[in-house]
A and B are shown apart, each in its own frame.
Chain A
Amino acid sequence: DTGVSQNPRHKITKRGQNVTFRCDPISEHNRLYWYRQTLGQGPEFLTYFQNEAQLEKSRLLSDRFSAERPKGSFSTLEIQRTEQGDSAMYLCASSFRQGAVTDTQYFGPGTRLTVL
């Protein structure tokens, strides 16, 4: 399967614990995005990378959240001191950016986080 993959698919944690999610994009894609989706809502943008550079962060991304893409391939999203409000589906998407044309984003299956 050459699509976007995410691990783990499900994570249950206790409030106050740290969690880390991984995203492996489609191999030739230079852009990688993180979104959060809660029940009944569309995905909300968190951050994105072009290669290894983090180019944009949403105000939704508090200082408890950090994302990395160290070699321009896979990415990790870490949430420190989790809160119950962090419970959501965390979606990763990747795309190939060329020039000024809008790049279609391809989504992974998501990681569902439940904070007890």
Chain B
Amino acid sequence: EDKVVQSPLSLVVHEGDTVTLNCSYEVTNFRSLLWYKQEKKAPTFLFMLTSSGIEKKSGRLSSILDKKELFSILNITATQTGDSAIYLCAVVPNYGQNFVFGPGTRLSVLP
């Protein structure tokens, strides 16, 4: 059965800290991995990763995929209170079209 594991499940930091969120997966015929940010409502898209070793960056956020070790990390530097959210990792298997989501990491950034 396809499985996505995220760690930590919960994290509390102070503004200005750097955080690393982890996502590991077991999936048949991996195609892509995506990161989403979920505040109070809908998940919003952050990154899509399909190739190992290529870092994607957007402002203070960056992410990289390791297809050999079956994991991805999401880094947030100089965290702000607005980064407080649940960060979801999703994997797309090659055989289907649905996303398999992990449980999410709840990040709280304190002022």
A interface residues (Cβ-Cβ under 8 A, vs B):
4, 31, 33, 35, 40-45, 48, 55-56, 58, 91, 97, 102, 104-110
Min CB–CB distance A51 → chain B (angstroms): 13
In this assembly, does B25 line the interface, its C-beta being within 8 Å of a C-beta of chain A? Answer: no
What is the predominant secondary structure among interface residues of chain B facing chain A? strand
Residues on B with C-beta less than 8 A from A42 are: 4, 88-90, 101-104
Which of B32, B36, B97 makes the CB contact (< 8 A) with A55?
Answer: B97
Given A42-B90, A48-B98, residue A108 in contact with residue B42 (CB < 8 A)? yes
Jot down 30 A-B pairs with beta carbons below 8 A, ordered by A.
A31-B97, A33-B98, A33-B99, A35-B101, A40-B104, A41-B104, A42-B4, A42-B88, A42-B89, A42-B103, A42-B104, A43-B43, A45-B98, A48-B97, A48-B98, A55-B97, A56-B97, A56-B98, A58-B98, A91-B43, A102-B32, A102-B92, A104-B48, A105-B45, A105-B99, A106-B45, A107-B42, A108-B42, A109-B42, A110-B42
In angstroms, Cα B101 to Cα A42, docked, is 5
What is the predominant secondary structure among interface residues of chain A facing chain B? loop
Chain B minimum-CB-distance residue to A43: B101
Min CB–CB distance B50 → chain A (angstroms): 7
